[in-house]
Structure 1
Amino acid sequence: MQIVDISLVIWLLMMNLIGIILMKIDKRRARRNEWRISEARLFLIAALGGAIGMWFTSNVIRHKTKKWRFRLGFPLFTICHVALLVHFSM
């Protein structure tokens, strides 16, 4: 792997970890009727590389699964991120 490849993988891992944590926090806040994390912020983290982890977490904890934007957005971002990984690994 080249330096760019390793940097990209580290970036995606960090964004996925942040995304997973934010989804869990937002779910907990939703249950408690507390202040929530904005959808725009969740999508920003997904777009920056956290979509895979957020998509998985969303399905596991059943959070944001009824909203079409998330049902469509997370998989689309995931496809883009996987394509980037494949492109930079060649």
Structure 2
Amino acid sequence: MKYFWYYLIFINLFAFCTYGIDKWKAKKGAWRVPEKTLLILALIGGSAGAIAGMMCFRHKTRKAKFMITVPVIFVVEVILLIIWLL
């Protein structure tokens, strides 16, 4: 159980940083992180970090794909977590 919480902390910090890096690269005109990668990070448990990165860096907030998909993933993950803890 302890390792599960470590994983969630790690994956959310990683997702947050990845959104920040992608925003920085977008400003510099450099090679970008694929959108698929950003969404997969949210899907594998990093949805809270992804949402925080989107809001903090104002990144991908104009794309409906992200503004709808990432919060839906977050809600599903929270529901699954609650069910698992019960």
User: Hey, what does 1:81 align to over in structure 2?
Assistant: 77
- What are structure 1's unaligned runs of at least 5 residues? none
Pick aligned residue for 1:51 from 47, 50, 72: 47
Normalised TM-score (structure 1)? 0.88
Shift of 1:65: 0.1
Q: Separation in 1 of the partners of 2:82 and 2:30?
A: 40
> What whole-Å deviation, never above 9, does each CA across 1:30-61 have from its counterpart, x for those lacking one?
00000000000111111001111111220121
User: Hey, what does 1:72 align to over in structure 2?
Assistant: 68
- What are structure 2's unaligned runs of at least 5 residues? none
Q: Quote the sequence identity (%).
A: 29
Ranked by relative contact order (alpha carbons within 8 Å, sequence separation 6 or more), the top structure is: 1
Normalised TM-score (structure 2)? 0.92
Structure 1 segments (4+ residues) deviating >3 Å: none
Query: What root-mean-square deviation, in Å, do the aligned CA atoms of Structure 1 and Structure 2 show?
Result: 1.1
